[in-house]
């Protein structure tokens, strides 16, 4: 892996290029665990899943009403009510000519019957039921295997198990599912100024907010986190922790210390104990992002500024972890919106500004900046619901221009 820095490579690395290069250098960690459904949320399917049964496994009613034979309808005559089919309690007889069965939603269709008429569309007197209005043969019946046929492919390997996927897996009766072994991610913050929330701040100190935020994002991604806490700006100590972490983790995520300041040792240590892929990107925020390897362990050095750390995690570390975990993903859904206010932008770097997007009276989307765009102001970021993708060569954006953005609300951060 070539060692590059800002001096040996004049100009900054374009985002798409750096990202593709990074993804190329990562390998998938392919080990499989079998876990009970309750522990599968947020994990990735390790193998394709085919349906072990027909879903539904029997024809059943989609309505509360009467099950009957379509051919008996038309002459206006009443049908003899011969029984009831409830969900979980099928009618065991057979519906013959001129007969019907009271049936509830989800109850098995009785033999002989092929059609359901809603109870609202029937007159019922004594044991005689008379459907009124038009009846379409086969109506309101959910046919067996209508959803999935036995053996049919349901999900591919690499599918993220969200609540919807989990429900389908449960509907197939699966107790255990094959999932990829969760990535082991070591997380740490660097900086002499950092204190844990709850501690007293000495002059010049701040609270470590990156580790808790990054930890929250990683948790939502279903990885196994080892928290190495706050590491002082001491190259010896950083080396020791990175080597220890690299010995067991698939990836290390640090924040701080990757810039060009006097106490920015992370990059220096990485160069000594591992290899750096790139570390200066044409993006804003997040220019000093470091990517590399220590042995087989991938290393992601995020900038210390909280907004930069979160944005580079999302743009670079997140897809990298997805690749390592073998996640099937189609990338962010990019939307177009109209700038409702000017956005300040200098050509030269791709700018991922934090914005607030909302539908306008005409139904189109309109976006405004979410407060300060300083990479040190996280409170504005917490207000944002989208990340604008402002192209590298673009200058100031005037109100009315079209901008590209991705929604970040409801994702994992």
Give me the residues that bind Mg ion (CB under 5 A), please: 191, 256-257, 304
Exactly one of 194, 231, 283, 322 binds ligand AMP (CB under 6 A); that residue is 194
Alpha carbons 16 and 392: distance in angstroms, whole number: 10
Closest CB to Mg ion among 71 and 192?
Answer: 192
Q: Nearest CA to 386 among 403, 362, 398?
A: 403
C-beta separation of 63 from 106 below 8 A? no
Taking the complex as a whole, how short is the minimal distance between the CB of residue 167 and Mg ion, in angstroms?
45
Distance, CA of 88 to CA of 106 (rounded, Å):
8
CB atoms within 10 A of CB 107: 23
Q: In terms of CB distance, is 91 or 313 closer to ligand AMP?
A: 313
* Least spacing, CB of residue 362 vs ligand AMP, in Å: 41
Distance CA 256, CA 304 (A): 4
60 binds, among ligand AMP, Mg ion, none (CB under 5 to 8 A by kind): none
Nearest residue (CB) to Mg ion, 230 versus 251: 230
Is 307 in contact with 369 (CB distance < 8 Å)?
Answer: no
Choose between 171 and 209: whose C-beta lies nearer to ligand AMP.
Answer: 209
Contact 142, 57 (CB under 8 A): no
- One DSSP character per residue, 171-208 reads HTT-SEEEEEPPPEEEEEEE-TTEE-TTSPPPTT-EE-
Could you give the CA distance from residue 61 to residue 19 in angstroms, rounded to a whole number? Answer: 52
CA nearest to 13, candidates 316, 244, 371, 225? 316
First vs last C-alpha separation in the chain: 32
The residue number whose beta carbon is nearest to ligand AMP equals 304
Among residues 208 and 351, whose Cβ is nearest to Mg ion? 208
Between 211 and 345, name the residue whose CB sits nearer to ligand AMP: 211
Nearest to 219 by CA among 242, 188, 194, 187: 187
Report whether 381 contacts 286 (CB < 8 A): no
Residue 209 CB, nearest approach to ligand AMP (Å)? 4
The verdict on 191 binding ligand AMP (CB under 6 A) reads yes
Pick between residue 60 and residue 259 the one whose CB is nearest to Mg ion: 259
Provide the pairing of β-strand 32-36 with 60-61: unpaired
Of ligand AMP, Mg ion, none, which one sits near residue 16, judging by CB under 5 to 8 A according to partner kind? none
Q: Confirm if 251 and 321 have CB atoms less than 8 A apart.
A: yes
We find the least distance from the C-beta atom of residue 361 to ligand AMP, in angstroms, to be: 40
If one asks whether residue 229 binds ligand AMP (CB under 6 A), the answer comes out as no
CB of 406 to ligand AMP, least distance (A): 24
The one among 193, 250, 351, 406 contacting ligand AMP by CB under 6 A: 193
Residue 259 touches which of ligand AMP, Mg ion, none (Cβ within 5-8 Å per kind): ligand AMP
Binding flag, residue 99, ligand AMP (CB under 6 A):
no
210 binding ligand AMP? (CB under 6 A): yes
Q: How far is the CB of 367 from Mg ion (least distance, A)?
A: 32
Is the CB of residue 392 less than 8 Å from the CB of residue 15? yes
Joined tokens for residue 38? 């309750």
Residues between 261 and 280 that touch ligand AMP (CB under 6 A): 261, 264
Residues 297-316 that bind ligand AMP (CB under 6 A): 303-306
Any contact of residue 285 with ligand AMP (CB under 6 A)? no
> Which stretch, 13-21, 38-46, 209-217, 316-324, contacts ligand AMP (CB under 6 A)?
209-217
Where does this chain touch ligand AMP (CB under 6 A) — which range of 5-13, 253-261, 291-299, 352-360? 253-261
Partner in contact with 358, chosen from Mg ion, ligand AMP, none, beta carbon below 5 to 8 Å by kind: none
Half-sphere exposure of 409 (CA within 13 A, CB side): 9
Q: Which residues have C-beta within 8 Å of that of residue 131, sequence separation ≥ 6? A: 66, 68, 73, 79, 117, 121, 122
Cα dist from 326 to 32, 168, 322, 357, 413, whole Å: 11, 21, 6, 32, 21
Report, in Å, the least distance between residue 220 CB and ligand AMP. 19
Q: Which residues bind ligand AMP (CB under 6 A)?
A: 189, 191, 193-194, 206, 208-211, 255-257, 259, 261, 264, 303-306
């Amino acid at each position: 892996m070539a060692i590059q820095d800002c001096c040996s490579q004049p100009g900054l690395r374009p985002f798409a290029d750096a990202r593709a290069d990074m993804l190329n250098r990562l390998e998938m960690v392919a080990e499989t665990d079998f876990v009970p459904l309750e522990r599968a949320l947020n994990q990735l399917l390790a193998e394709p899943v085919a349906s072990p049964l027909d879903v539904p496994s029997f024809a059943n009613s989609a309505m509360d009403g009467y099950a009957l034979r379509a051919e008996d309808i038309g002459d206006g005559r009443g049908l003899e009510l011969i029984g009831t089919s409830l969900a979980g309690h099928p009618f065991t007889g057979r519906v013959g000519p001129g007969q019907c069965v009271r049936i509830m939603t989800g109850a098995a269709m009785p033999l002989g019957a092929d059609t359901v008429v809603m109870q609202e569309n029937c007159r019922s007197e004594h044991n005689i039921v008379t459907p009124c209005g038009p009846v379409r043969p086969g109506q309101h019946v959910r046919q067996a295997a209508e959803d999935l046929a036995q053996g049919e492919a349901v999900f591919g390997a690499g599918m993220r198990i969200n609540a919807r996927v989990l429900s389908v897996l449960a509907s197939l009766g699966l107790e255990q599912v094959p999932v990829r072994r969760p990535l082991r991610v070591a997380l740490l913050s660097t900086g002499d100024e950092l204190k844990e929330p709850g501690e007293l701040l000495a002059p010049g100190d701040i609270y470590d907010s990156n580790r808790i935020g990054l930890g929250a994002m990683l948790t939502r991604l279903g990885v196994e986190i080892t928290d190495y806490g706050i590491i002082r700006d001491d190259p010896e100590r950083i080396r020791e922790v990175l080597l220890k972490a690299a010995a067991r983790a698939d990836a290390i995520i640090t924040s701080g210390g990757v810039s060009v300041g006097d106490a920015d040792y992370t990059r220096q240590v990485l160069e000594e104990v591992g290899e750096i892929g790139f570390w200066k990107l044409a993006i804003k925020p997040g220019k000093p992002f470091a990517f590399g390897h220590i042995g087989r362990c991938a290393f992601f050095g995020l900038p210390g500024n909280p907004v930069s750390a979160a944005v580079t995690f999302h743009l670079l570390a997140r897809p990298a972890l997805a690749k390592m975990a073998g996640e099937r993903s189609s990338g962010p859904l990019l939307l177009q919106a109209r700038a409702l206010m000017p956005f300040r932008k200098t050509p030269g770097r791709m700018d991922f500004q934090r914005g607030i997007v909302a539908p306008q009276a005409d139904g189109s989307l309109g976006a405004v900046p979410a407060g300060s765009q300083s990479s040190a102001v996280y409170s504005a970021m917490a207000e944002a619901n989208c990340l604008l993708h402002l192209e590298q060569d673009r200058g100031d954006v005037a109100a009315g221009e079209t901008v590209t953005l991705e929604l970040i609300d409801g994702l994992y951060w």
